[in-house]
Homo-oligomer: A and B are copies of this chain.
């Protein structure tokens, strides 16, 4: 199997560019797929993404000022609108519209800001993944965040598609007993856009985070339903119920814990990425200590992943030509890579 440093970027895809809360009064500079981008919400409320380089003297527009419509370069005052067209060129008359900077399609939806880095004519908003939990009632407590990760984004996808790492990387949080993990049943299915799996750890020891959040007294039936959508999203539905409650037939019943996670990783460079995650849980009270601890544990567990994939990247970067091996448990990882390669082949 190729190491991630050997993979290319998929350009014709929607990526999360930012959380809406990151775009208030100030422009935000962010590198995405090796392009320096400025993101901003102008005073009319519209979010835009331009290349972060004024066409005049290459000053970064992110050093500038958000205007009613567009952004003003902080060096000589040229203003560019959300399409990248110069709409004010102070003192320089009528020829302003020849000055343009590249703009990128942006969609703001369900509290995500999505960007399209490829061919504009292929940017189909209907392909954006649905994740309604930011807009749902407070049955579901949720938390979201952005982690900068010094590793290729594919290492994050691989990480999510082989859960046997939980027993070693997340011992003190969302892990659980290594033997239970190794023995988990795993049903892997190819989808049109990637791969999904259903994984059961029946009659297993709940991990510390689950016990603290939902008060389990004994063993549980624990499930993990993961779907990878190429190139860089993972939708996770998992949870646990006391043994005997019939979890296999009905996971969405009262009691126990039910979790929805949206993982999305936007490549920054070949060796770094932006990890956007959103975690919703039912079965823990939103403003309770247990609910807070649950979300804190999730945040902490993802920092454990960050540390591991960054370490992995440092080893791969030192010897970029060596390939990786697969184990029995890497079946879903292999299908994830296959779906990614199919997408790359279309470019």
Contact = CB atoms under 8 A, between A and B. Distances in A.
Interface stretch (A49-57, A231-239, A285-293): A49-57
Interface residues on A, range: 35 or more
A59 B315 contact: yes
B318 A183 contact: no
Given A53-B315, A325-B55, A308 B75 contact: yes
A50 to B, nearest CB: 13
Interface string A66-108: 0000001111110000000000011111000001000000000
Interface in A298-347: 307-308, 311-312, 314-316, 318-319, 322, 324-329
A77 B55 CA distance: 52
Contact of A325 (B90, B91, B99, B314): B99
B181 A56 contact: no
A158 interface: yes
A284 to B, nearest CB: 28
Interface stretch (A165-173, A208-216, A244-252): A165-173
A319 B51 CA distance: 12
Contact of A56 (B58, B91, B182, B325): B325
Given A60-B315, A63-B308, 14 more contacts: A59-B315, A73-B168, A74-B168, A75-B168, A76-B164, A76-B168, A77-B164, A90-B167, A91-B164, A91-B181, A91-B182, A91-B328, A93-B328, A99-B325
Interface in A151-201: 158, 162, 164-165, 167-169, 178-179, 181-183
Interface of A: 3, 36, 52-53, 55-60, 63, 72-77, 89-93, 99, 158, 162, 164-165, 167-169, 178-179, 181-183, 307-308, 311-312, 314-316, 318-319, 322, 324-329
Nearest to A313: B58
Nearest to A65: B168
A322 B58 contact: yes
B74 A327 contact: no
A55 B178 CA distance: 20
A86 to B, nearest CB: 10
A55 B59 CA distance: 43
Contacts of A63: 307-308, 311
Contacts of A36: 315, 318
Contacts of A60: 311-312, 314-315
B75 A312 contact: yes
